[in-house]
Structure 1
Amino acid sequence: MNMETAPIRRDEDGHIRHIDVSALMRTPDGFARLRAALDEIDETLPEDYDIEQPPWLICPATQRDSVTWKVRRGARVVETFAQWYRTQAPELRRRIQARYPEPRGWQGFYASLA
């Protein structure tokens, strides 16, 4: 199967980048493969992390548009940081942005939290 049409697509480093759930569910073992893929994604993230650090510091090799940040533990990492960040005063937000600038691929992340 062509990698561009495979239900589970990976980056060059082997990490899962995209899951086409509807295509995966049309395969005989789709649910088991989906569960295994989600478990694999969770294993790329630490169980304990500093909620005051943006996601790119928690898992630096993972791009912003990766499925990692959209499911399970990754989604919790992003949402927990977003909730914390939104409670901070504007001056502290500016200091956070200065201390942890958005790397390439993450531009607009802070603005998306406003």
Structure 2
Amino acid sequence: MTGALALAVASADGATQVLVLPITHAPPYRPDDAIEIPADVRRASGLDDAPQWVVINESNVFAWPGPDLRAIPGRTPPTHIYGRLPGRFLLTVATAFRARNRGSTRAQEVRRP
């Protein structure tokens, strides 16, 4: 996995939970399992030039910060953020993820401690 797209949500007890969609260089087995990140969006977001996809048929949910988060090597100050994706692309991903989670076709959700 190259990275992840995260949505943070505050829970009733004040803890922050995140829903994370993986970003990968591996093309999806089925075209509707992922959204390709356009080259201009990858460049503007600090991702590399190789084709990449946001996976919409699986997600991870965990308390922020999570044990699987690692700082990006060579970044000072340390950060987990490669860059920010533009709103129009986030809307495309969110719409596809919501559509994927309607009816009988559901994204696989992995809850992390």
TM-score by structure 1 length? 0.24
Higher gyration radius (CA): 1
Higher relative strand content: 2
Higher RCO structure (Cα 8 Å, ≥6 apart): 2
Higher relative helix content: 1
